[in-house]
Amino acid sequence: MRRPTVAVVVFPGTNSEAETVDACRDAGMQARLFWWSEDPELLRTFDGYVLAGGFAHEDRVRAGAIAAKSPIVAVIKEEAGKGKLVLGLCNGAQVLAEAGMLGPVALAQNLPAHHFQGLMVEVVVDREPQRCAFTSCLEPGHAMAMALAHGEGRFTGTPATFEQLEEHAQIVLRYAGAAPNGAEHRAAGICNDEGNVLALMPHPERAAWAFNVAFDDPALRGVDPNKPAAAHSIFACMAAALRATEPSP
Amino acid sequence: MSVAVSAQRLAVSGASDQELQRLARREALALSSDELRSIAQRIGRDPTRAEAHAFAIQWSEHCSYKSSRPLLRALPTKSADVLVGVGEDAGILRAGTANGVEYGVVVAHESHNHPSQVVPFEGAATGVGGILRDVLCMGAEVVASADPLRFGMPLAGSHAAYVAGAAVDGIAAYGNAVGVPNLAGDVYFHDSFKENCLVNVVALGIVPIDRIIHSRVPPDGAGYDLVLVGKATDASGFGGAAFASLVLDASLAQSNKSAVQVPDPFLKSVLMRASYAVFDEVRARGVQVGFKDLGAGGIMGSSCELANAGGCGAEIDIDAVPVAVSGLPPFVIACAETQERMLWAVPPAFTPELLEIYNVRFTLPHVSANARAAVIGKVTSAQRYVVRAGRDTVIDVPIDVLAGPIVVPRVAMPPSVAAGSIRPASPSAFSERTATELLLAALSHPDVCSRRPLIEHYDRFVRGATVIPAGYADAGVFIIKRGARAGIALSVDGNPRYGAISPRLAAAHAVVEAARNVAAVGAQPIGLTDCLNYGNPEDPIAYWQLSEGVAGLAEAANALRLNAPGEPLPFVSGNVSLYNESAARAISPSAIVACVGRVDDVGKVVTMQLTAEGDPLFLFGPRTPHTAGSVLLAMTTDETRHVAPGDLPPLDYAEANASIRAVIAAIGAGVVKAAHDISDGGLAVCATEMCLGGDGRGTIGVTLLEPLEWAPSVSSDVALFGETPGFVAEVSRDAVAAFEEICKTTGARPMRIGTTGGSRITVEGSIDIGLGEAADAWLTPLVELYA
């Protein structure tokens, strides 16, 4: 089976790259870290991209704002325009929003907390999973534990924007209950209209294996701790979608 | 050896005490007149200004352990599990094998108490930053932290509440940004910490055991380059070690602020990753190197200890140090405690590669202004420590004198016991409130209630290796490497209510409880680290408290025999923080202990949360009548009254060894499905927390038998709320015989106390509370403080 190539992008301040690479590899992708000091043109040879979590450029100005202006993101934006897959996780999602890759959607400070929140949450697949590459292998209603870890993860925008997102079924992942960060429409993950770019605020890569989530689920006791957990399916969907496309030249 | 210092010297020889005191004040040197004379005598002439500052730092309590060193010899420090013992940046224990590689777990413990009282956000943040470097410098990947915190009562709007809030924000801001998950921690609120909070921090790392790097120049290291890495040096933190060794005076808060360093987790995050790349290169090339954190005394402290530990000397060129501002005096550049810096000793042939990794591949100069890796000196074969600035030699002293240990004899005196000490209230005094009322009050007591509102400020899941996050069990657990099964557990302990009554018993209890906590998830305790937080050692009572605390640690660590060869539980690292007092009061003597445990299979660990209905609950550790230091007593009587140490719960080491071994074995065998140690709030709180679970949303209740049946020798309230150590365990109802067999093997004698099930917490004849009501009482008290 073909093993698609994925660049896991590391900006200064990114802190989740190692687990993101492992999650990609366990899904059958050839993933490697792509450092900020490398030549951005090299990115064009990859089949897909993951912008990992953390605090790129210290989240100066706004979370993700500086990285969004980097030559690396400029190249990724161009490649996304050709249909390549781009997954932004937490800070990576903030970068995508700042880069305008989701349309007029922004990520604002968590409400009502006004501060960083770190907790396990349940995320549920919405009604049209097949419209987004990263959920395309999942059924509507599929629930996944993920680790929420951010201070500015509240998806927000005008009512008209969200009306359109709903109409186009772009909110492919929602918090199971009330959004802990106050996100509009309980949005946890929003894809672009083409479905090849996903901005996901909670971290699937921190809840990707049984050992990550068994503490809250006695049913997983005794299971192989390194078995993929529910959230790993985001990476599995990515791998499946990449396999279904032509490899990058 | 001829003395070649060319800088101006301070007039010490022949000066009177008064003149020397004036000199010390003028030069802002934390040195007594005797110490100034001793310096002149040891180096054979009057010191230069830079030399005097260097000695003031090296001889500070913080660096020299001059008061505590003789006491610390009593602690056990060796076992089959110890790979690197006390004396380097951090200790290392044998962690287990993952994916065919044998790993060590690096363990460090630090305090940042004074800075956190003065500027809580920055003080607490830099405490995290410093300890991460200690772990990193052993060649390790930094993988976890834990934060034992002690604050004054956080009354709304009080300064203590501000400190309690801002210190947590600082820890979160730093740890979250660098991506080191918070694995464990505890917090106590006690009035003795109102003017002097305690912010301790523990950090862990993992390192393949053939890749350990030591805090010393390797053999044949003469001629090595000394390469400073990290932030450009400024004047921040100058005098930090001396500051840590002073009694806090509120009126000096402003001037003390300059002794607090400035944290930069963003730069640290890059430095850590760049250093990991260097570790790979060091390994690939097979070069011998030394690596050390810059902490107290900055460049001076680190370079002189790195070289001296390798039996070498060092020469530093101050003009080669990248600085953030020009015009700093040489002794400030040499001794400032600017954060985010480390020092390598590497063979010159490796230097270009080292500089390339930090400066080009990881672009340090673009990450922070003038941050970089730069060669600042050489390791020499001469046993001298030399610092040059321009044409001046500002320091030139025998290196072993500057780095060497000093000891200051101290006097210990127990406090006189006030005449007519009052015994703790008799059990009948509790009966005005029903047991149900007492349980609800205990659940919302500041030392008992859920830490969730605080913990959720921390990132517990970054790195994707978390198995049990802080708050869900008595210890946190992470997996060493994905794809393998080995894990590490960590817990911290130290009860200030006990410290105020008996420093010795408090310390001993902290050791045993830390070990119990690790066992409660199914991990094998393998080592300890401590932070000794006490008052001014020049005060005989404070020194007595310190000596008693160390004696208690030693007693308990020697008594716990938990590994296969039956060795004591070793201390592998630690920290001593003295002068924790203000004009108003001394802190409750606080030996804070962390225990590291080894997990063979992370698939088998358990949390405190009940897993099924109809399972029997067993109690390990018979109840005793002792209630001193308990939450029960704090809730029902005047806490300030004197109680005798004999009124504290006794330590039964035989019972502890048998119970701990049984719990570990029974969890490993899958017959114990949840376990929790009995501590603050006693058995009733313990059982309730097992129902509620870490997030308070548990749905399985319990019914406990009448206490008379399992604790016939004490009153019902004491049975339910007394804090005599023990465990409560949920045993699989199909495996009771196997459980009893395991207990028989270790000599443990658990008693059946009840059954899981229903949606209430019921004790026959006394308590009856719905889980929802209990959860409300437990979850809400800290919500406002940490909103």
Nearest chain A alpha carbon to B674 = A218
CATH number for the domain harbouring residue A110: 3.40.50.880
- Half-sphere exposure of residue B268: CA atoms within 13 angstroms, side-chain side: 31
Q: Which of B53, B62, B190, B626 is catalytic?
A: B62
Q: Which residues of A touch B463 (CB under 8 A)?
A: 16, 18-19, 206
Cα gap A98→B305, rounded to integer Å: 47
Question: Are A35 and B179 a contacting pair at CB < 8 A?
Answer: no
Instruction: Tell me what pLDDT residue B257 has.
Output: 52
Task: Report whether pLDDT(B2) > 50.
Answer: no
Instruction: Tell me what pLDDT residue B64 has.
Output: 84
Query: DSSP readout, B310-379?
Result: TT-EEEEEGGGS-BSSS---HHHHHH---SSEEEEEE-GGGHHHHHHIIIIIS-HHHHTTT-EEEEEEEE
User: Tokens standing for B484?
Assistant: 């393998």
Task: Report whether pLDDT(B420) > 50.
Answer: no
3-state secondary structure of A64: coil
Contact B208, B98 (CB under 8 A): no
Q: Per residue in B491-545, pLDDT tens?
A: 999 999 999 999 999 999 999 999 999 999 999 999 999 999 999 999 999 999 9
Residue B148 has a CB neighbour count (10 Å cut-off) of 26
Q: Is residue A21 part of a domain?
A: yes
Q: Which residues of B touch A23 (CB under 8 A)?
A: 464
Nearest chain B alpha carbon to A228 = B483
Question: Are A225 and B601 a contacting pair at CB < 8 A?
Answer: yes
- Half-sphere exposure of residue B458: CA atoms within 13 angstroms, side-chain side: 28
- Per the structure, the count of domains in chain A is 1
Candidates B206, B474, B482, partner chain A, best to mutate (most A CBs within 10 A): B482
Cα gap B64→B341, rounded to integer Å: 21
Angle at A114 between CA B695 and CA B779, to 5 degrees: 25
> Number of residue pairs across A and B with CB atoms under 8 Å?
135
Q: Which residues of A touch B611 (CB under 8 A)?
A: 218, 221
- CA dihedral B247→B250→B255→B260, nearest 10 degrees, is 70
Min Cα separation A133/chain B (Å): 23
Question: Are A215 and B468 a contacting pair at CB < 8 A?
Answer: yes
Q: Is residue A176 part of a domain?
A: yes
Cα gap B443→B510, rounded to integer Å: 22
3-state secondary structure of A203: strand
Q: Is residue A249 part of a domain?
A: no
Q: Per residue in B727-767, pLDDT tens?
A: 999 999 999 999 999 999 999 999 999 999 999 999 999 99
Select from B265, B463, B484 the Cβ nearest to the Cβ of A19: B463
Select from A12, A118, A215 the Cβ nearest to the Cβ of B458: A118
Instruction: Tell me what pLDDT residue B419 has.
Output: 43
Select from A36, A55, A115 the Cβ nearest to the Cβ of B177: A55
3-state secondary structure of B243: helix
Q: Is residue A215 part of a domain?
A: yes
The chain-wide mean pLDDT, for chain B, equals: 92
Cα gap B394→B589, rounded to integer Å: 41
Q: Which residues of A touch B265 (CB under 8 A)?
A: 55
Going from the N-terminus, what domains does chain B have, and what CATH number goes with each?
30-36+48-72+215-406 (3.90.650.10)
Question: Are B604 and A221 a contacting pair at CB < 8 A?
Answer: yes
Q: Is residue A138 part of a domain?
A: yes
Cα gap B180→B556, rounded to integer Å: 31
Q: Which residues of B touch A66 (CB under 8 A)?
A: none
- Residue B214 bears catalytic tag: no
- Residue A24 bears catalytic tag: no
3-state secondary structure of A54: strand
Q: Is residue A206 part of a domain?
A: yes
Q: Is residue A236 part of a domain?
A: yes
A1: which residues sit within 8 A by CB, 6+ positions away? A28, A243
Task: Report, as an integer, the average pLDDT of A93-115.
Answer: 96
pLDDT over 90, % of chain A: 93
**Structural domain harbouring A76:** 5-243
Task: Report, as an integer, the average pLDDT of B304-323.
Answer: 97
H helix runs in B616-652, sequence order: 631-636
Candidates A116, A152, A181, A227, partner chain B, best to mutate (most B CBs within 10 A): A116
Q: Which residues of A touch B483 (CB under 8 A)?
A: 226
Task: Report, as an integer, the average pLDDT of A171-176.
Answer: 98
Question: Are A120 and B360 a contacting pair at CB < 8 A?
Answer: no
Q: Is residue A248 part of a domain?
A: no
In the sheet that holds A197-200, the strands lie side by side as A30-35, A5-10, A48-51, A85-89, A197-200, A187-191, A171-175, A117-125, A143-150
Task: Report, as an integer, the average pLDDT of A189-203.
Answer: 98
Task: Report whether pLDDT(A94) > 70.
Answer: yes
Task: Report, as an integer, the average pLDDT of B226-245.
Answer: 79
pLDDT band at B644 (very low <50, low <70, confident <90, very high): confident
Q: Per residue in B15-28, pLDDT tens?
A: 999 999 999 999 88
Q: Per residue in B665-674, pLDDT tens?
A: 999 999 999 9
Instruction: Tell me what pLDDT residue B146 has.
Output: 97
Please confirm whether the linkage preceding B589 is cis (ω < 30° from 0). Answer: no
Q: Per residue in B377-389, pLDDT tens?
A: 999 999 999 999 9
Instruction: Tell me what pLDDT residue B415 has.
Output: 86
Compute φ and ψ for B353, nearest 5 degrees. Answer: -65, -45
Contact A85, B428 (CB under 8 A): no
Q: Please give the C-alpha separations between residue B243 and each of A158, B53, B126, B217, B365, in angstroms, as whole numbers.
A: 53, 13, 15, 29, 31
pLDDT over 70, % of chain B: 94
Q: Which residues of B touch A36 (CB under 8 A)?
A: 363
3-state secondary structure of A83: coil
Cα gap B462→A17, rounded to integer Å: 10
pLDDT band at B421 (very low <50, low <70, confident <90, very high): very low
Q: Per residue in B572-631, pLDDT tens?
A: 999 999 999 888 888 999 999 999 999 999 999 999 999 999 999 999 999 999 999 999
pTM comes to: 0.95
Compute φ and ψ for B693, nearest 5 degrees. Answer: 75, 175
Angle at B563 between CA B559 and CA B569, to 5 degrees: 45
Contact B558, B508 (CB under 8 A): no
pLDDT band at B635 (very low <50, low <70, confident <90, very high): confident
Cα gap B226→B229, rounded to integer Å: 10
Nearest chain A alpha carbon to B173 = A116
Q: Which of A57, A150, A185, A203 is catalytic?
A: A203
Cα gap B511→B493, rounded to integer Å: 7
3-state secondary structure of A187: strand
Query: DSSP readout, B535-574?
Result: --TTSHHHHHHHHHHHHHHHHHHHH---STT-PPPPEEEE
Judged by average pLDDT, the poorest of B287-301, B426-440, B705-719 is: B426-440
Calculate the CA A231 to chain-centre distance.
Answer: 11
Task: Report whether pLDDT(B29) > 50.
Answer: yes
